[in-house]
Amino acid sequence: MRKSSLEANLWARMGRPWGWLTVLAFAAPFIVIRFFIFWKVGMSHPLALVEAALVPVLVSVGFSWIAPMAWRFTNDDRPRAGLFRGVFQSLLVNSISVLLFVELDVLVLSISKPMLASDFWTATAWNATMLIPLMTLVGYFIAMGELQDEERRLADAQSKSAQDRALQHQLSPHVLFNALNGLAELVRQDPAAAEQGLLDLAELYRMVLDNGRLQWVPLKEEARLVERFLAVEKLRLGDRLHVIWEWDDELNSLMVPPLVLQPLVENAIKHGLSQRVGASTLYIVARLLLGEVEVRVDNQGEMGTKVGRPGRAGRQGVGLENLMERLKLHFPGESSVFLESEDGYTRAGFRVSAKALGVPVHKNEEIPLAVNESWTSLN
């Protein structure tokens, strides 16, 4: 690891509560023993009592935090030093640490009881013999454990990314296939509109490919992609399609996985508007409610499943099934996908913990929505 990475690693350790609990738990028995010894020999000076507690804590920090760093430093991108370099660095760093510990110990103790120079060197030799090899060994095992954890997290992240890519690649051709089917109908009815639709489709698919290369995109970009998709659908459906955006602009900057909104809109058109005679209205909603960010699409008509219960994969299609799996990957235990009917409308959408999306705590409450009936409202 480089120096900057090592410093970041140290600050990360210091920011973990369990790390401090480990340090204190390791130091606590030695603090008790030292207090007992100082009491027995009559050392009651305040500084001595402070030192009785401080030095064990510093030694514990040396074992838990400083000793492993000596094994991780390489000044390049390698995760740890080789055996011989690691041993050399560890012995050097631990020797300096032990010398400082002993110096502090002797300095404070000499306030209560004068000590000879020989006492200092005796204490140094004894502590060096005991602590330096032990710190070197403990530091090695802690560093190796950390490295294994990092490799496991990296493997998990790569596996999650690969699964997400596979799901995205499954969805991208699905979007194109359905849009082409719609344009095939339009060619016979209105060739000029079909030509414009192909241009819109090309732009739509460019956006799908661009976003598909990213792991996260702003929620606003998802809305823009949906607007392009609606432009293609509107050429085919004309006045039958009416869209109302109930969209909280404060959520535009939230980072979400690509292609989380378009499947909801497509599902509403395919299973809602396309099954109805005459015009139909879609409500595209993004809001913050009770500690969760909710994104959903409402369409007129009811499905043939129970209220609040997700439909089967065949009913809700590839899009919603795909969305469910991808949200589980990115927000395990903090997201849900729903498909429900109520009051003559079908609602399909997802909810993600506001905390998981980085929404400030003071904003974790319901925000009144401004209704905008222009389906190009986000341009």
The answer to the question of residue 377 being in a domain is no
Residue 40: the pLDDT is: 73
Does 155 have pLDDT greater than 90?
no
Per-residue pLDDT averaged across 327-339, rounded? 89
Does 289 have pLDDT greater than 80?
yes
Q: Identify any residues that bridge with 371 across adjacent strands, giving them in sequence order.
A: 246
In 3D space, the residue among 76, 186, 187, 95 whose CA is nearest the CA of residue 136 turns out to be 95
User: Pick from 129, 155, 181: which residue ends a domain?
Assistant: 155
The answer to the question of residue 136 being in a domain is yes
The answer to the question of residue 104 being in a domain is yes
Residues 253 and 343 in one domain: yes
Residue 309: the pLDDT is: 39
User: Pick from 100, 134, 155: which residue ends a domain?
Assistant: 155
Residues 121 and 210 in one domain: no
Does 306 have pLDDT greater than 50?
no
Give the strand pairing for 241-247 and 371-372: antiparallel
Residues 288 and 204 in one domain: yes
Does 78 have pLDDT greater than 50?
yes
Using an 8 Å Cβ cutoff, are 106 and 126 in contact? no
Residues 337 and 281 in one domain: yes
Q: Residue 306 maps to which CATH number?
A: 3.30.565.10
Domain residues for the domain of 48 are 3-155
Residues 215 and 357 in one domain: yes
Average pLDDT, the chain: 78
The answer to the question of residue 177 being in a domain is no
Whether the model clears a pTM of 0.85, i.e. scores above it, the answer is no
Strand order in the sheet with 241-247: 335-342, 345-353, 292-300, 280-289, 241-247, 371-372
The answer to the question of residue 212 being in a domain is yes
In 3D space, the residue among 165, 174, 182 whose CA is nearest the CA of residue 205 turns out to be 174
Residues 204 and 83 in one domain: no
Per-residue pLDDT averaged across 41-47, rounded? 68
The answer to the question of residue 180 being in a domain is no
Residues 96 and 200 in one domain: no
Dump pLDDT digits (tens) for 245-268: 999 999 999 999 888 998 899 888
Residues 30 and 117 in one domain: yes
Confidence of residue 193 (pLDDT cuts 50, 70, 90): confident
The total of structural domains in the chain comes to 2
CA 338 to each of CA 260, 270, 296, 330: distance values in angstroms, whole numbers, following the listed order:
13, 17, 9, 17
Kindly state the tokens that stand for 314.
């065949």
User: Pick from 132, 155, 178: which residue ends a domain?
Assistant: 155
CA 318/CA 329 separation, integer angstroms? 17
Residues 119 and 212 in one domain: no
Dump pLDDT digits (tens) for 127-153: 778 888 888 998 899 888 888 888 887
Residues 328 and 201 in one domain: yes
Give the strand pairing for 255-256 and 217-218: antiparallel
Element (H, E) at 247: strand 241-247
**Alpha helices by DSSP H, the chain:** 3-14, 17-40, 46-61, 67-72, 83-112, 117-189, 191-212, 219-237, 262-271, 313-330
